[in-house]
Structure 1
């Protein structure tokens, strides 16, 4: 059975790249190929200028130090303190006690756990355990951080705090992050680009804002619908209600257009009446976007003119009715 087929990804240095798919889609196999815990049957995996699929055992061990990894279930040493867990990979590298102490303290400060250094994993919350996992992964100073469902075992509030921490680490350290998940919220919150994997194949990829707002594939649309189920139900309901001489559309504003009065200025000039049936403003990472469901009322030519002028002003217009 083929787990992955025809995978072709390029992840830029300093990027947060998300890979989303259902259970069994091949996400974890893909991340294990990236650090060569799984050996691909064909193709190559390049980390910078090095093809790690061609390395011998000793060379591979050195190269893996450039790849940190955090896991869904933390994988901490239960009999070791927080300090000892973070120090563990540095001891394996043969670092001196002074180097280990300096680096561990730096990492614990970075993840906000300085006061918990002497505690054991059983004394920590889920979010604190994941912070230990992040500090341990970062201790050897990797170039890439691999995150395999790193927030799946956490509640929503803790998930958001871990995502903010990862974004902060990305900004401070310029670290490349590859993030495996089945939650579109995680992708939307911090990722720059995303690849959608299904049945071992990458079916769609690109900047998150493009994939999120203009999904081409059915599976991508399903992930997005799960994030906005109430909005989908509302759109279905208004499609079933007909108001004479009207058309209902969804208007999407992206970036600086989100906060401009483009809609009100346009309808003043075209002379159509309108009613806002629903509206939301949100963000995809740092980019704001707004979506309005609007019913335009008037003669057909005036409504056509309104929709055309909105499109000319770089708004996305999707007719619902």
Structure 2
């Protein structure tokens, strides 16, 4: 659905040139929720604006729905842009227009008959839960309600793709959760492809299928959220998910306790249904190995549960090795860390 090929964006010229994007390659599948995460200044806003050519790339190709956008003439580009909805961090609503008219605005611009506009806007008001606010103005709405108007407006032209530019960063945590749930419901109801950028790992963890990490204009890591979240490779990724903090907490606890010389310190990762199964106790009963749980966490990645434990195993070295092998046979990720 979306494919970026060797995308580069440079501002300025010659000695004063600043590179915002450097050879970015990215593919987003139909119906996928894809997240791009990065610190401020990493290039993520430039990236999302290049997809609908609000920013024209310096070099590279932007493919959306099988069409290469950078090669299009103005009129054809405008037609293709109608298939790409966008919501913004600060909502970008018309302050002098009602909720109804803000949502209707894209349809009004292209001369849609009033009856069709009314039907569409009423459907969207119901979808985003704003039927009772149709005649209010943006100043009368909360931040979450304003973003719901922005989402409804972006959906007015029945787009194939929805771009989200830090759509929740101006909202409180509870409102953020409600907006993410709405986006997930829209994705599932319409099979809408969603690409979002954020600096919040919670957003990625809650709704995204895959994620790319951008740093200094380069994609430094990408893959399924579970893979990137649970086994990060790049230091920037590790910072976002506090991976090192988790590891350090387990090691700190381990080092604060006296253990036999043959003790083995291990991090075990559970994913899916196994998170709630007694796998660890079942295995150690077979191997007669003692264990102590030093640190642990449990959460979800897009409604899929996961858990991580830092465990100290004590016993004969061969029995500990057998324990780790049996855990791996149960499709658990087992990493010896000390």
TM-score using structure 2 length: 0.91
Alignment of 1:147-166 (within 5 A): 147-166=164-183
Cα deviation, residue 232, structure 1: 4.8
SS at match of 2:163: strand
Aligned to 1:21, which of 38, 42, 54? 38
SS at match of 2:23: coil
Alignment of 1:99-114 (within 5 A): 99-114=116-131
The question of 1:195 aligning with 2:212 is answered yes
Distance, in Å, in 2 between the alignment partners of 1:11 and 1:50 is 14
Report if aligned partners of 2:30, 2:192 keep a CA contact under 8 Å in 1.
yes
* Match in the other structure for 1:234: 249
Distance, in Å, in 2 between the alignment partners of 1:232 and 1:301 is 25
SS at match of 1:161: helix
The question of 1:258 aligning with 2:275 is answered yes
The question of 1:284 aligning with 2:301 is answered yes
* Match in the other structure for 2:259: 243
Aligned to 1:271, which of 282, 288, 291? 288
Q: Deviations over 1:45-68 (max 9, x none)?
A: 111121111111111111100000
Distance, in Å, in 2 between the alignment partners of 1:276 and 1:237 is 13
Q: Deviations over 1:173-211 (max 9, x none)?
A: 110000000111100100001111111011111111111
Distance, in Å, in 1 between the alignment partners of 2:166 and 2:234 is 22
Distance, in Å, in 1 between the alignment partners of 2:126 and 2:295 is 44
Report if aligned partners of 2:52, 2:84 keep a CA contact under 8 Å in 1.
yes
Cα deviation, residue 233, structure 1: 5.1
* Match in the other structure for 1:59: 76
Report if aligned partners of 1:86, 1:136 keep a CA contact under 8 Å in 2.
yes
Distance, in Å, in 2 between the alignment partners of 1:204 and 1:90 is 39
Distance, in Å, in 2 between the alignment partners of 1:97 and 1:129 is 23
Cα deviation, residue 70, structure 1: 0.4
Distance, in Å, in 1 between the alignment partners of 2:66 and 2:311 is 51
Distance, in Å, in 1 between the alignment partners of 2:279 and 2:136 is 55
* Match in the other structure for 2:223: 206
- Which stretch of the first structure deviates more once superposed, 191-200 or 41-50? 41-50
Alignment of 1:82-231 (within 5 A): 82-225=99-242, 229=245, 231=246
Cα deviation, residue 304, structure 1: 1.6
Report if aligned partners of 1:235, 1:320 keep a CA contact under 8 Å in 2.
no
Q: Deviations over 1:113-162 (max 9, x none)?
A: 11110111111111111001000000111000000000000111111110
TM-score using structure 1 length: 0.96
Displaced runs of 4 or more, over 4 A: none
Distance, in Å, in 2 between the alignment partners of 1:236 and 1:20 is 28
Cα deviation, residue 246, structure 1: 2.0
- Which stretch of the first structure deviates more once superposed, 286-295 or 169-178? 286-295
The question of 1:37 aligning with 2:32 is answered no
SS at match of 1:152: coil
